[in-house]
């Protein structure tokens, strides 16, 4: 390769015509891609020195060409890279996005002193450290933060993610990118269930393996009306029946026969001391195992359980059809084979807010 002509390159860099700029681009590209031969260490050093001079003297088009040529070079001079990183965004973009030379402190300096466009370029880097992510989040710019959240190569600390989860209550555009991050803590996804859309709630249930009852219970707890402070008429009636010693099990059967579903649910809640959302799930699930466990733990006889099971299935069935004899026998066998201790263990877990399905899976019939 011919000797590198410093003056010729500087002359090309000063030119503003498109044709001369193309000559410069081709010259630099040929030098760094080794089209003719690989540059020696001395020649590379000389080229970098020429580029540094170009940056100070050349117009923007030439600076952009230089930036694009050295953006991915691991041995590019730090001074030159930093100079280009703080240039106008047209010049700086390739450097900010790709340069491995820039250190975290360099990137944070750009974030704090340059434009939103510079911040966006940094947010799409292949890897972004927690420190740089923190600085990007501190800008408070929604577009920058959303871009960062969508970058799977960005590391985001737990504290910053918790902050962004809370921010997603008011900034809707954060919600989906947060939920789609593979590093999101399931507990944070569960927290977001309270304020995201119905579609994102389905996404949470499907992708984070969270129990629907637990999530629905979170919604119920977030409601302004507290069940402890404001009782329905059915709750008051159930309390009166219990205090008068009329027997909740017998009165529950009577309520079902009379079609008093709300009264039945109120008495069932009082008998089992389970949350309203869980009570509804137990009563409406097709299998009946949850109902059997709750009744067994509450000391209800097999005969009364059979009546409650059959009548509750009737009230849930739009056609009013009785459950099949085979299905009734299956759940009755389940009830009789279930020990009272095992049922009490499960219902105690439910009261402590443990996942409904997990407690069923872990059930030891003979415990």
> What does 92-112 look like in DSSP terms, one character per residue?
HHHHHHH-SS--HHHHHHHHH
Supply the pLDDT for residue 318.
45
Q: Which residues, in sequence order, are CB contacts of 342 under 8 Å at separation 6+?
A: 363, 364, 365, 366, 367
State how far the Cα of 210 lies from the Cα of 218, in Å rounded to an integer.
12
Burial class (CB in 10 A: 0-12, 13-18, 19+), 243: exposed
Q: What is the C-alpha separation between 177 and 193, in angstroms, rounded?
A: 14
Confidence of residue 315 (pLDDT cuts 50, 70, 90): low
pLDDT in tens, 157-211: 999 999 999 999 889 999 999 999 999 998 899 889 888 888 898 898 888 877 7
Q: Are 96 and 110 in contact (CB under 8 A)?
A: yes
SS3 state at 254? helix
pTM of the model: 0.56
Q: State whether residue 154 is helix, strand or coil.
A: strand
Please determine, for residue 230, whether its predicted confidence score (pLDDT) is greater than 70: no
Mean pLDDT of the region 97-112: 95
Asked if residue 145 lies in contact with residue 137, where contact means CB atoms within 8 angstroms, the answer is yes
Q: What DSSP line would sit under 114-143, residue for residue?
A: S-HHHHHHHHTSS-B-HHHHHHHHHT--HH
Contacts of 158 (CB under 8 A, 6+ apart): 185
107-153: pLDDT as tens digits: 999 999 999 999 999 999 999 999 999 999 999 999 999 999 999 99
- For residues 57-77, average pLDDT: 79
* Of 155, 197, 205, nearest in space to 176 by CA: 197
Domain ranges of the chain: 1-102, 233-361
CB 272 within 8 A of CB 297: yes
**pLDDT value at residue 67:** 85
Give the angle 359-216-365 at the CA atoms, nearest 5°: 15
Spacing of C-alpha 150 from chain mean position: 11
Q: Are 13 and 58 in contact (CB under 8 A)?
A: yes
**Residue 148 pLDDT:** 97
More confident residue, 220 or 285: 285
Q: Choose between 199 and 284: higher pLDDT.
A: 199
CA atoms of 98 and 131, how far apart (whole Å): 18
Confidence class for position 225, pLDDT limits 50, 70, 90: very low
Residue whose C-alpha is closest to residue 52's, from 61, 37, 42, 62:
62
Return mean pLDDT, the chain: 80
Under 8 Å between Cβ of 32 and 73: yes
* CA angle 183–189–195, rounded 5-degree value: 140
Whether 351 has a pLDDT exceeding 50, the answer reads yes
Question: Could you tell me which of 210, 164, 41, 300 has the C-alpha nearest to residue 291?
Answer: 300
Distance CA 23, CA 45 (A): 21
Contact 82, 110 (CB under 8 A): no
Q: Can you read off the two tokens belonging to residue 123?
A: 């947010």
Residue 258 pLDDT > 80: yes
Torsion angles phi and psi, residue 366, rounded to 5 = -100, 10
Residue 82: closest CA among 106, 62, 61: 106
Write the burial class of residue 128 (CB in 10 Å: 0-12 exposed, 13-18 middle, 19+ buried): buried
């Amino acid at each position: 390769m011919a000797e590198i002509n410093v003056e010729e390159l500087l002359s090309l860099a000063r030119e503003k015509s498109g044709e001369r700029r193309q000559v410069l681009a081709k010259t630099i590209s040929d030098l760094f891609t080794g089209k003719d031969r690989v540059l020696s260490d001395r020649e590379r050093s000389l080229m970098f020195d020429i580029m540094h001079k170009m940056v100070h003297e050349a117009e923007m088009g030439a600076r952009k060409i230089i930036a694009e040529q050295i953006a991915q070079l691991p041995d590019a001079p730090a001074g030159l890279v930093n100079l280009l990183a703080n240039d106008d965004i047209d010049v700086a973009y390739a450097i900010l996005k790709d340069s491995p030379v820039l250190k975290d402190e360099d990137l944070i300096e750009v974030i704090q002193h340059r434009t939103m466009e510079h911040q966006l370029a940094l947010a799409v880097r292949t890897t972004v450290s927690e420190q740089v992510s923190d600085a990007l989040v501190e800008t408070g710019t929604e577009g920058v933060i959303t871009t960062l959240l969508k970058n799977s190569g960005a590391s985001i600390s737990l504290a910053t993610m918790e902050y962004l989860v809370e921010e997603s209550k008011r900034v809707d555009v954060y919600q989906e990118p947060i939920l789609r991050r593979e590093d999101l803590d399931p507990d944070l996804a569960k927290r977001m269930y309270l304020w995201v859309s119905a579609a994102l709630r389905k996404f949470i249930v499907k992708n984070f393996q969270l129990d629907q009852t637990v999530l629905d219970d979170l919604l119920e707890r977030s409601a302004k009306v507290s069940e402890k402070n404001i009782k329905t008429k059915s709750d008051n009636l159930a309390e009166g029946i219990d205090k008068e010693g009329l027997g909740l099990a017998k009165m529950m059967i009577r309520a079902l026969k009379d079609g008093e579903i709300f009264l039945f649910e109120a008495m069932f809640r009082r008998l089992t001391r389970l949350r309203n959302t869980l009570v509804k799930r137990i009563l409406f699930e097709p299998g009946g195992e949850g109902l059997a466990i709750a009744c067994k733990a509450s000391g209800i006889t097999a005969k009364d359980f059979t009546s409650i099971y059959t009548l509750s299935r009737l009230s849930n069935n739009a056609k009013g059809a009785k459950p099949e004899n085979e299905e009734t026998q299956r759940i009755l066998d389940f009830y009789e084979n279930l020990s009272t201790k095992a049922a009490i263990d499960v219902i105690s877990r439910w009261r402590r807010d443990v996942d409904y399905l997990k407690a069923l899976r872990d059930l030891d019939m003979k415990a």
